[in-house]
Structure 1
């Protein structure tokens, strides 16, 4: 089973949005039995909470399910359980690389997979309030990630 973990700061805005959107994409392609998806945050402030109301609103708008999503913090075992750890910005990248130690896992910013974008950080809508911008960037990143995984694994 191919495994993907999306990571942001608090796991209530960007990474659960990416998790829900990626699940939707793989379901549309009939790959839900080949790819597992989860999300986590580098911080513990929101552990156990559902996605932010702005994230829920934008996902509802696009008819993407976020059922069952609850915030959690990244843990050591994630570096063994997930082949792809996809972060939302430079700060997340630095924190996740530090936590990973010498584990052999693919760690990347989501927008590193979208070559035509200059800014490789997904803005945090918790602070910007712009959930539409975040949605569009996350969608582009998730589509590129799915193409990479399909190529990497011959799907």
Structure 2
């Protein structure tokens, strides 16, 4: 059995590619890259085809986390059918994903990233495109990715 994880933010150049790269790194360290597939997308179309934001790239480079081959793409309705976990970086992304996928009710496979870290008391991952604070986002992403990996492993009974 496989699990497919999609991270979604607004432009797919800051938060979701950071989460994709960090989660991929964690999955590889756990030796689970054959059973967990990872991707990211944005709800907007402004950055399609572009690499991650310079701030995300610099942070990942500093930490030795690969983002090789990553290019921004837009979330599409089919993604909802393909992925088992659609992890949205904020409330607006979650609403946009549900609207695009035609989801009228709550669905366990679509959730906010910060739902993985309820003890933080924060509902949305701040957007470093506007705040410039990539380190703050990384700290949340790292901790959330560890929680997500534990959840996926439990769901797959690994």
Range of TM-score over shorter length: over 0.9
In 2, Cα distance between equivalents of 1:116 and 1:33: 31
Q: Structure 1: where are the runs of 5+ without partners?
A: none
Residues 58-69 of structure 1 mapped to structure 2, 5 A cutoff: 58-69=59-70
Paired residues of 1:79 and 1:105 also in contact (CA < 8 A): no
Q: Distance in 1 between matches of 2:39 and 2:79?
A: 10
Aligned pair count?
155
CA RMSD of aligned residues (A): 1.2
Contact 2:78–2:101, Cα closer than 8 Å, also in 1:
no
Counterpart CA distance in 2 for 1:67 and 1:102 is: 32
**Counterpart position of 1:56:** 57
CA distance in 1, matches of 2:6, 2:128: 20
Aligned to 1:147: 150
d(CA) in 1 for partners of 2:152, 2:123: 19
Displacement, 1:105? 6.2
- Residue range with higher mean Cα deviation, 65-74 or 92-101: 92-101
TM-score between both structures, scaled by the size of structure 2:
0.95
Match of 2:115? 112
1:68-107 equivalences under 5 Å are 68-102=69-103, 106-107=109-110
* Counterpart position of 2:17: 16
CA distance in 1, matches of 2:139, 2:86: 20
When normalised by structure 1's length, the TM-score is: 0.97
Deviates most, 92-101 or 41-50 = 92-101
Question: Following the alignment from structure 1 to structure 2, what is the Cα–Cα distance between the partners of residues 23 and 63?
Answer: 12
The list of structure 1 runs, each at least 4 consecutive aligned residues, that deviate by more than 4 angstroms after superposition, is none
Measured in 1, the distance between the counterparts of 2:108 and 2:75 equals 14
Q: CA deviation at 1:97?
A: 1.3
